[in-house]
Chain A
Amino acid sequence: MDGIDIATLRELFILPFLTGLVLAVLLPLLGCYLRLRGEWLAALGFSHIAAAGSVLGLPLGLPTTLTATVATTLAALANALIARMGNSQFALMLVLGWAGALFLAANTNQGEVISEGLLRGQLYFSTAGHLVGALITLAGFLLSLHWLNRRLLIQRFFPDYYAANGRTNWHHELLFVVLLVPAVVLGTLAIGALPAFALFFVPAWVAFGLVRSWKHGLWLSAIIGASVYLLAFFIALLMNQPFGPLLALLLALTSVLRLVGPIKGQNSY
């Protein structure tokens, strides 16, 4: 770091660092609920739609955050309308988003650079808007956690509870989407589609293999996400390595922790 003073470092890296840190807590927590709902591929499908939507902003002359949010919201609405459990629709979104992003990129000025950044990660180009968006989404999630947690768990274990009692479930479904969409968009724009997916998927998967209670699962997911993020950020900075792939790699390595977890029955996957 010769020749770079602390003030410069702070100016260059404090904003990306904080943005990534907030997302490293938020995304694993939402990942727990995606696993609860059996929708663990949703983050990857939505993140590729967000990437395609972001690149679409270039020829339209619109802010990429806006077009990414609109595209992801439309995908989330389509998913809610078909109301089908499972991951097939998210696999289709992944394919469409990936192809769309690369096609748009190939036919747009600056598109290739942008799309590569989105797919691989570009944390150091995070903006203050990304940080504010991430903080608002995290605050919204934490404030609604108690209310949302009970309803999502009841829906998983007693699927017709709401219909049987003449209650609609769209309140918590909508809230979950309202939290998920900005998390996916910000994760994709700030960290990259695949590293963001790794934050949604791996910490929850590892934590669920290690702990025995739901509350501990949430805590451990957030801790794994934040710890691995800190490690990846500083290794990438000090050793001049690409952040996104390094984060994904380190997260993947945490999967060995599952080997020391409690023995699971036939229900593991």
Chain B
Amino acid sequence: MTATFDLTVIGADEASFSAAAVAARTGASVAIIRPRKRKNMAATYCDMPNFVWRRLDLHEYGLSLERISARVTLGPDGATVTTHEGVRETQAALAQEGKADHLLWADFVDEMKALEAGRKLRDAATAAPKNGVAGFSLFSGGVRDCAALGQATGSCAAALDDYLGDDALKTHIAAHALGPSGLGGGEPGSALALSEFFDEHAWRVRPDEDGPSLLSTLETACKDSGVEFFTKDLTEIAREGARHVVVSLADGETIKTRYVLFASPGAALKAGMRASACPLAGHGAATAVMRIALKRPMPPAAQDDKAVFQVLDGAGDLQIAREAALDGRLPDNLPVEFEYAANGDIIVRTAYCPAAFRDDEGWREWTGQDRQAAARRMIDQLARRIPEFSANVRKTKIEVIGAASPDRPPIFTGPDFAAGMENVIIQPNRHNAVAAAVRLVDRMLAGE
């Protein structure tokens, strides 16, 4: 049996559901394919821009969201750096921490937002339909645009050095901006993450502790908007004719569709697709997410259980970790991000894991032992900052996304242009995944 849709979204995260619901509300026929086996490992926070909230009328679902309180980096020797959504609040926090750069903060944030060229570059990388040429509007615009483009294609470290003086602050920004994509600060294109990080839609929100989860609300919103769900594994994506793609499912069912959207590279990799060509896709690395249940409650780090934390000694460690991951090793000084779930569990995440391991005999897949080693190292990293943490761990659950399955590292590339698959779109890791996915489907459907 073949069903026909305008748009097929593959994935089960907030960005996938938001994009599907918005598309369905604009009148498109939409299907969502989500994997059969799902673990509830996702972070509790997400970006949820106001325009998406309003378009989906999320207030009607009894959902209430709160902004995450702060972004905190736990440095060595008890030093912390804290930044907030508001510029003034951040300036005050930085002044309190004795950072001279608080005077420059407002200008710095403005400059990073002004890296418009970065947005063009990301849009180009997310090769959307009728957007194949967007890569080459890169050089349109005046000298200022080209200067910004030059900066955005450069490294994050160079951009930070250009504006800021305080090493701990630079480490903090690099850790939070690059964390989701697992990039090193010295890599070309890593500066892109900065403009994205300071984008107005990128500040994270999390559902109110007592209310329904954002994901389940979005799922309901999808169903209410007429999105059809297929809880099946994907077996093949093939091109049919000049305009359509056929998605085959595990039980032999097929879906004929105009566009396929993977809202995250993780979803694409799970389905065996190569990820986006965008620098933010963090080629060659895997992401480990772990949920830690504690034996007894402990006070949150920095007395704040609504913040997102990074554990990092110095900005240079990001590049070292990145190189270790590309080398097929688990980095010694693994940069990790963590937050507190509503029930007091800690969710730890790192995008600096290797996609495959390399030893004397060549490349090999992740094993159970590797997963354990990764879990151990993540706990160790937290223990370096939180006193008596290791002894307080009761149970852990770890998931690795983006691990390569064959005996060599996966090929992460853009849509298979050679086969004319330009209507299969894969989003890179983004700070504002929901906003980007919704804008993307808007463009796709308008391009019809």
A and B: real partners? no
